[in-house]
Structure 1
Amino acid sequence: MPMKTSDIQSFLAAVAPFSELGAARLAELASQLETLHFEADQEIGRFGSSEPQDLFIVVDGAVVLQAEDGTILEHRGEGELFGHGICFGAGPRRYSVIASERIELLRLEREQLAELGRQEPMLASFLSAGPGARLRAADQRTVTRLGQLTLRPPITVTSGASIADSARLMAEHQVSCVPVVDGHRLVGILTDRDLRNRVLGAGVDPARPVTEVMTPRPITVTPEDRVEDALVEMMRTGIHHLPIQDEDGTLVGVISSGDLLRLQSPHPLRLVRDIQRAESTAAVAELARKGPGLLAGMCRQGSEVTEVGRVAGLITDACTRRLLSLAQNELGQAPMAWTWLAFGSQARLEQGLISDQDNGLLLAEPPDEKAGEYFKRLAEMVCDGLNDCGYVYCPGEVMAKGKWRMSFHDWRRTFSGWINEPEPKSVMQSSIFFDMRGVAGDIELAGRLHGEVLAMAKDSKIFRRFLAAESMGNRPPLGLFRQFVQERDGKKTQGLNLKKRGVIPIVDLARVRALEGAISVVHTEERLRAAAARDIMNERDADDLIHALRFIGNVRLRHQVALYEKGEKPNHLVDPDSLSGLHRRYLRSAFGIVQTAQEALTNRYQI
């Protein structure tokens, strides 16, 4: 007996991607669908040709999708579709569909499907695109660019102006900075901080040229840059003004931290500023514990995982730097040059609402007993302070207060041992160290170490093969016929571990690809783009992985925010039944992309 149109409409409201259609469109679609029945083992049809074909929706029962040679590709059940082009692993292929049991289907004829696709581009993209394109289509978030903001025309001074004339101009127009130009060329910027520190504080004659106290060659942005990019740049560098130049170098405005504070709600810049001014470790910890709430607020306001991760990492950086400064106020000046190193997600600027600490201390020279005691105490004070801030001690003890406090020579020797004499256990323990970034101290020292490590790893294919093999330990949670496989605690399912089974596999893939080309960036998306730019991997494959990472990361982030707002501890375990049908399908697409990339890496290194 055919289903009633009203029943079909109710059914489709829970089926991806039709669940995204409006009520009127859904009612119209329901009236066009035909109900069909097939017996067990009956062939329903052959699909996957380039010609348009009918679309089928499983109402009750299950079907088997088979390759032309009889290989089973997938099982599909209630609420799932077939008839359209489907990517199995590397790409679309022909397939036949056979009823596993007595089955009820809905069919939409190809002509009606084509018309619906013209009216609803989202649906057409979902049905016709591969998994990467499907995720790209889903990633159509609203982006505000600097050129869209209403900014006053820049007030400038020429390079021949005096300090006094420049200060009077700032007071007259009530601005906190003036760009310094030579003709149409930006040569510097004078800020109220420059006037305080370099003029008043240093006793410089205000009649002197402004070029003597300005900040030369300032960091600039363009009208096409996102507001979020300007925010992150200010947090990263600690500056408060960014000149905006168009593509031909013309100065079109200046964006200030005050402008961004008025735009951003909540205010990560304000939190970082307050951390930088904190007068005690207790005050730093109190401020740092506002971080998860601020990040949750950013998520509610529409920020996505890449931006939230960058802000989270920069908040950790701010806490680290302030704790180092407070420790040095107590311990005195360091006996030699040093660099505080971040590893893992902090180094990559990919932290979330919860994170432990992974860090180390790089010393310019082997320390004597007195210097060793100084840096031991410094590391203990900072690591203990970070733990108080909520960045709990690393379970694997990757911390400067432990054994990861060494001279440049010893760090280089340690990396050389991992790379030149690889064995599975040491490779597993070492992978996090290749995500390295200097946070404070002599940043050039960290850059020199990182450069030497990258060169060694690039020259050792054996090590990279071990690292690639180790990365295969975390597989996407897709089982036989691409069904979700949840973590279990005894007989109880716990959900999909989106960190272990989703994020980490992509991070590991990007790390191996980056080491192939001695690519110095450590942010996962930047690594993938750089690998594609150097022809280490296909550009489309890299972009697919980026969008898979974003989708998985955003699902995990929203899950953590929901737990945080209920007063529960955030975790990485997501119940797939808590997601919409559309999001489950997108998540399966994202995991499929990761599986394909892992297969490619396996073939490349013959694992």
Structure 2
Amino acid sequence: MTDLPDDLTRFLAGVAPFENHPDAIAPAARAIEIRYLREGQAARPDSGTTFPEDPWSLYIVRSGAVALCDSDGRVLERRGEGELFGHPIRFGQQAAPYTVQAVEDCLLWQLSAVAVRALAERVPELEAFLSSDPGARLRRVEALRTRRERLADLGLRSPVSIGPDAPVAEAAARMAEHQVSCLPVVVDDRIVGILTDRDLRGRVVAVRLDPDSPVEAVMTTEPVCVDQELKIEAALVEMIRRGIHHMPVLADGRLAGVVSAGDLMRTQSPHPLRLVRDLARASDADAVARIARSGPALLAGLVEAGTDVTQLGRMAGLITDATTRRLIELAEAELGPAPVRYAWLAFGSQARLEQGLISDQDNGLLLDDALDADGEAWFLELAERVCNGLDAAGYVFCPGGVMAKGRWRMTRHRWRETFSGWMAEPDPKSVMHCSIFFDLRAVHGDVELAESLRRDVLEQARSSEIFRRFLAAGSVTHRPPIGVFRQFVQETGGDASKGLNLKKRGVIPIVDLARVHALEGALPEVHSEERLRAAAKAEVITERDADDLVHALRFIADIRLRHQVERLRAGEKPDHLVAPDALSGLHRRYLRSAFGIVREAQQALAQRYVL
């Protein structure tokens, strides 16, 4: 067609995947042929053959609706205004041929195979968008939108290093000459240590060590090294997690430079490293609350700057960790030393390092078996102060009472008995508790005490097939919000009937699947992506299924996170309810793909456990 009506151009600009490619709209519109279908009429009545053709053309539903049917005429899916058909479409496990019939009077726009090929050259994501493989679709869209900044992109200066036998005085002089705050210690191109300003202050000046002493006597051994291809956000998370300020950077295994906290803080402002540092220096609980409450706005800025959703979740969790640790340190300073060994435990999304802009508390206390009555009173006071401080900092009390200030403050023996009871006589309530408590991580205190408990629990879970079957049954109760014909199903009841609950219906189902697979293999990983990767490595699931679930989780979590940022910027409380109509056509399509991956994974698990 030669004419290009304004309404056609405007409509096509809102159709995925054209919406982000205005330069492709005019050529695509000029290639469109108009088709009309009456209610009940087949899209290809003459040939009687099914879609897709080879080569295939595309049909855009301008108005009305069509049904996609199998060879027996059963409806597989419905597509309406602004949606496409004609290309390979996956129904369930694999792509299948289909026929198309109008369920009401329709106006269709058709693009020939020649026009589709030309369009693919102008629209990079068209191939992924039209792919019948949902996983490939999500991998492609993530590759297009993810920030690409690596450590190699920072322009790190050439490394200045020193040998372990050199005198400390020579190392200090070299640091002053080159104006650097650390020196990698190298032997035959192999990094054996790192010497920092902090090492010089604490291990040389403070103890008046002989300046002729060798560097190896005061250096930090086995420093954390990272590859120059690592993304900046991942390096940042590693620094926060380990509480360090310098990391040697390697290229092909050889020293390429050193990245500092200052280097990373200059890439973004404000910066989570600075927030964590300020939390560690807070003078009282009020100061902790004031600093921590700036966290959501800081994280929102990182989301808007394009930070990867996985790394954002890690940063959010580590900020919660830093808030918790400082509250514990302040409480200990007033209460005195702890009467027995203990570990402050994080559960749920904090333990997994998968938090968003909002989170309630899920925590507990693991206490040494030598605890007595006086010790119980000490830990109750500790729990009250820390949980109240977290609430003031924006981490509201857990609605289900999963907090150290409640009943979840027990000795190791009692914790083990509790887990054993849940597994010996599983019921829906015990499964619900385990869905939280199997995600366990020590935030402060005796880490080995917590790890020993977790090892015991994993071994019990692996040997209890009945319990794992109950856990699997519980994990498939949170169904993705798509109906029989792949239409979105919004929440119902009161204020909840306003959108898709992407936490309850999107994120949690994948987290549950990852947890079940990890318990099947007694895998120690806690982070959901790491659980899925480890499960694939242990051959609990296939690598392809694991990768599909990882990318589905990332996409759903990213949509939820951006929704929370929009509400925060609008002065509203962030939540998990996203209205489908607020999403672009492209995002609705990819969200359906992600939900489809989850639904198939749940069906596979149900078949495996004969649920």
Give unmatched runs, 5+ long, in structure 1: none
Looking at structure 2, the residues matched to 224 and 4 of structure 1 have their Cα atoms a distance apart, in angstroms, of: 47
* 2:233–2:308 Cα contact (<8 Å) kept: no
Question: Is 1:109 matched with 2:109?
Answer: no
Residue 10 (structure 2) pairs with residue 10 (structure 1)? yes
Q: Summarize deviations over 1:93-141 as a string: whole Å, max 9, x none.
A: 1111111122211111122222322443321221134211111111022
Tell whether the 8 Å contact from 2:128 to 2:141 is kept in structure 1 after alignment.
no
Aligned to 2:97: 94
Q: How many residues align?
A: 605
Deviations, residues 310-348 of structure 1 (Å, cap 9, x unaligned)? 111000000111111111111111122111111000001
Partner residue of 2:245 out of 228, 234, 240: 240
Q: Which residue of 2 aligns with 1:19?
A: 19
Match for residue 352 of structure 2?
Answer: 348
1:4 offset after TM fit, Å?
Answer: 5.8
What are the residue-to-residue correspondences of 1:30-179 with 2, within 5 Å? 30-45=29-44, 46-49=49-52, 51-140=54-143, 141-179=146-184
Shift of 1:200: 2.4
Distance 1:457 1:359 in 2: 21
Alignment check: 8 A CA contact 2:13 2:22 kept: no
Residue pair 1:62, 1:101 contacting (<8 A) in 2 also: yes
Contact 1:118 1:124 in 2 (8 A): no
Match of 2:382 among 378, 381, 400: 378
Secondary structure of the residue that 1:105 maps to in structure 2?
strand
* Aligned mates of 1:3, 1:473 — CA distance in 2: 52
Contact map agreement 1:320 1:386 (CA 8 A) in 2: yes
Contact 1:457-1:515 at 8 Å conserved across structures? yes
Checking the alignment, whether the CA contact within 8 Å between 1:178 and 1:191 is kept in structure 2 is yes
Correspondence 1:71-470 to 2 at 5 A: 71-140=74-143, 141-247=146-252, 249-470=253-474
CA deviation after TM superposition for structure 1 residue 48, in Å: 4.2
> Partner residue of 1:603?
607
Return the alpha-carbon distance in structure 2 between the equivalents of residues 121 and 152 of structure 1. 36
- Does the 8 Å contact 1:48/1:92 carry over to 2? no
SS in 2 for 1:186: strand
For 2:130, give the aligned amino acid. L
What's the CA shift for 1:196? 1.7
Amino acid of the residue matched to residue 189 of structure 1? Answer: I
| 8 A Cα contact 2:2 2:30, kept in partner | no
Contact 1:514–1:527 under 8 Å retained in 2: yes
**1:527 partnered with 2:526:** no
Distance 1:491 1:514 in 2: 36
* SS of alignment partner, residue 179 of structure 1: strand
Deviations 1:505-563 (A, max 9, x none): 11111111111111111111111111112211121111111111111111111111111
For 1:534 and 1:194, the matched residues in 2 are separated by: 41
The amino acid across from 1:9 in the alignment is T
Residues 111-120 or 267-276, more deviating: 111-120
Q: Deviations over 1:232-278 (max 9, x none)?
A: 0110011100011233x321111011111111222110010010111
Say which SS state the counterpart of residue 365 (structure 2) adopts: strand
Q: Indicate the RMSD between aligned Cα atoms, in angstroms.
A: 1.7
Pairing 1:516–2:520 present: yes
AA aligned to 1:521 is E
CA contact (8 A) 1:5 1:30 kept: no
Structure 2 Cα separation of the partners of residues 505 and 177 of structure 1: 45
Report how far residue 150 of structure 1 moved: 1.0
Find the residue that maps to 1:44 and give its secondary structure. Answer: coil
2: CA distance between counterparts of 1:366 and 1:398? 24
Matches of 1:303 and 1:502, distance apart in 2: 21
> For residue 585 of structure 1, what is the aligned residue in structure 2?
589
- The whole-number CA distance in structure 1 between the counterparts of 2:401 and 2:170 is 56
Conservation of the 8 A alpha-carbon contact between 1:3 and 1:35: no
In structure 2, what residue type is equivalent to 1:323? L
1:363-385 CA distance string (max 9 Å, x none): 12241011111111111111111
Could you tell me which amino acid in structure 2 is paired with residue 376 of structure 1? L
**C-alpha separation in 1, matches of 2:407 and 2:495:** 40
In structure 1, the residue corresponding to 2:59 is in which secondary structure? strand
Counterparts of 1:325 and 1:371, CA distance in 2? 17
Cα distance in 2 for residues equivalent to 1:241 and 1:112: 54
Asked if the contact 1:47/1:53 (under 8 Å) is kept, the reply is: no
Between the aligned residues of both structures, percent identity stands at 58
Residue 43 of structure 2 aligns to a residue in which SS?
A: strand
Q: Give the Cα–Cα distance (whole angstroms) in 1 for the partners of residues 408 and 379 of structure 2.
A: 11
Q: Measure the CA separation in 2 of the matches of 1:362 and 1:592.
A: 40
CA distance in 2, matches of 1:129, 1:511: 28
Does the 8 Å contact 2:478/2:505 carry over to 1?
A: yes
Which deviations, in whole Å up to 9, do the C-alpha atoms of 1:178-209 show, x marking residues without a partner? 11122322111111111222222233332222
Given that residues 361 and 395 in structure 2 are in contact (C-alpha distance below 8 angstroms), is that contact kept between their aligned partners in structure 1? yes
Residue 338 of structure 1 contacts residue 442 of structure 1 at CA under 8 Å; is this kept in 2? yes
Query: Cα gap change, 1:147/1:490 in structure 2, threshold over 3 Å: closer, same or farther?
Result: closer
The secondary structure found in structure 1 opposite 2:130 is helix
Shift of residue 439, structure 1, vs aligned partner: 0.8
Give the aligned residue type for 1:92: A
1:29 aligns with 2:28: yes
Unaligned runs of 5+ in 2: none
TM-score under structure 2 normalisation?
0.96
SS in 2 for 1:121: coil
Greater CA deviation, 447-456 or 164-173?
164-173
Q: Please tell me whether the aligned partners of residues 52 and 86 of structure 2 are also in contact (alpha carbons under 8 angstroms).
A: no
Give the secondary-structure state (helix, strand or coil) at the position aligned to 1:189.
strand
Deviations 1:288-320 (A, max 9, x none): 011011001111111132121111100000011
Tell me the SS of whatever aligns to 2:492: strand
**Contact preservation (8 Å) 2:147, 2:308:** no
Residue 506 of structure 1 aligns to a residue whose secondary structure is helix
SS of structure 2 residue aligned to 1:143 = coil
CA, structure 1 residues 216+492, in 2 after alignment: closer, same or farther (shift >3 Å)? closer
Equivalences for 1:541-552 in 2 at 5 Å?
541-552=545-556
Length-normalised TM-score, structure 1: 0.97
Contact 2:52/2:87 (8 A) holds in 1: no
Instruction: Give the whole-Å Cα distance in 1 for the aligned partners of 2:169 and 2:518.
Output: 50
User: Counterparts of 1:184 and 1:104 in 2: how far apart (Å)?
Assistant: 69
2:488 paired residue number: 484
What amino acid does structure 2 have at the position aligned with 1:254? V
Whole-angstrom distance in 2 between the partners of 1:412 and 1:490: 40
Q: For 2:82, what is the secondary structure of its paired residue?
A: coil
Structure 2 vs 1, CA of residues 204 and 134 (structure 1 numbering), >3 Å: closer, same or farther?
same
Shift of 1:74: 0.8
